[in-house]
Homo-oligomer: A and B are copies of this chain.
Amino acid sequence: MAATATSPLATPLPILPPVKGVRLAAVEAGIRYHGRDDLMLLVLAPGTTAAGVYTRNACPGAPVVWCRMALAKSPQARALLVNSGNANVFTGKAGEETVNQSAAALARFLHCPEDEVFLASTGVIGEVLPAEKIIKALPEAIAKLDSDNWAGAVRAIMTTDTFPKAARRETTIGGVPVVIQGMAKGSGMVAPDMATMLAYVVTDATLPQGVLQALLDEGVQGSFNSITVDSDTSTSDMLMLFATGQVANPPVTHAGQPDLGPFKAALDSLLQELALMVVRDGEGATKLIKVAVKGAMDDAAARQVARAIANSPLVKTAIAGEDANWGRVVMAVGKSGVPADRDRLSIWMGGVEVAHKGAVVPGYDSSAVDAAMKKPEITILVDLNMGDGAACMWTCDLTHGYIDINGSYRS
């Protein structure tokens, strides 16, 4: 893989203090990369509850299959083991064996049931991931476990990422302070249809599994399910949320209870921040694009229009060229498959109305729009003027960098 410059849209890694009940380690297992850590181990306090959402891709990797099964069997988690460089996808029986052996080995070391061990792999598809390399690295990883090791862990899960991605929130449940802290990786093959590439979020709060899963299912909609880099849905997408139960907040029994409001808002905001980091690191990205659609027949229709715009190669290359080519937005609205009336359609590019109800705005002067297009963050707003449905999607531009990265990923 060619060395790639850091995305111009990168955000700095925040300070990541320890979270009660969480210890992490990063080691070099030599799976594919050399001279960098490629295996991350995250160990959770006994009694930690877990929730997860996984890719809807019909050809998921062996680790995704394992995690779905493990979560179905047990609501608890003791460990998460993530390698980078090899996705262990489409590796048949050998891939399953690697997962089984890795989970069994880690469970033995930690004296926990196998179905409390979660696994993830990202990287190249179709190459067998050798279990020996993973298992051989486990003793060193366990020896290095430390509550203050977040930054190293975040870096160990990166593949084509050009910057490490993590976020933190401090909030309360029933007046008791709790924290939420998480990491993500992802850069290409990003059009999650349920989760994203990989993202792991922990809280020290005490939350039953059912509540945790409900919070995650809802939070993913406005975050990881609202981003796309290239319309390609990965075989390895996975988002998990763990609650270590180290803080004795008042008991929570359902996701809708009022004193969970601040926690829910903080979680949603953290998930969106992580998801947008993935877009900011979209392969070759130079612009972060927010596509906002309103006036659709319903929210689902708005979402479909927003997705069609956000996935359009022609819209994305125009933004890369700083060209307010709103004609391509019209095209994308029209191809989205939802009802649209050309003569009601209005479009704003970078905050400037360019088209009003089916035609260019009278006396259209491109200078204001041209200036807006030079900014690193661009909003495309479309009003269908047909109803109350609204939705947002985030994407990035399509540039030479994307071609460079993906035309030679394996060489």
Interface residues of A (CB under 8 A from B): 56-60, 87, 89-95, 124-128, 188-189, 191, 193, 230-235, 311-314, 317-318, 320-321, 323, 325-328, 330-340, 342-343, 345, 355, 357-360, 398-400, 402-403, 406-411
Listed A/B pairs (18) with beta-carbon separation below 8 Å: A58-B333, A58-B334, A59-B330, A59-B333, A59-B334, A89-B330, A90-B355, A90-B360, A125-B327, A126-B360, A189-B331, A231-B313, A317-B403, A318-B409, A325-B409, A399-B403, A402-B403, A403-B403
Contact present for B342 and A58 (CB under 8 Å)? yes
A393 to chain B, nearest CB (A): 16
Contact present for B232 and A314 (CB under 8 Å)? yes
Q: Per a CB cutoff under 8 Å, which of B59, B323, B400, B408 touches A342?
A: B59
Q: Per a CB cutoff under 8 Å, which of B232, B338, B357, B410 touches A332?
A: B232
Which of A193, A323, A345 has most chain B Cβ within 10 Å? Answer: A323
Bound together, the chains give a CA A400 to CA B91 distance in angstroms of 32
Q: Per a CB cutoff under 8 Å, which of B91, B232, B321, B408 touches A312?
A: B232
Q: How many copies does the complex hold?
A: 2
Contact present for A313 and B402 (CB under 8 Å)? yes
- Chain B residue at minimum C-beta to C-beta distance from A339: B58
Contact present for A317 and B407 (CB under 8 Å)? yes
A30 to chain B, nearest CB (A): 21
Bound together, the chains give a CA A230 to CA B317 distance in angstroms of 11
Bound together, the chains give a CA A317 to CA B56 distance in angstroms of 23
Residues of chain B with a CB closer than 8 A to A337's CB: 58
A135 to chain B, nearest CB (A): 21
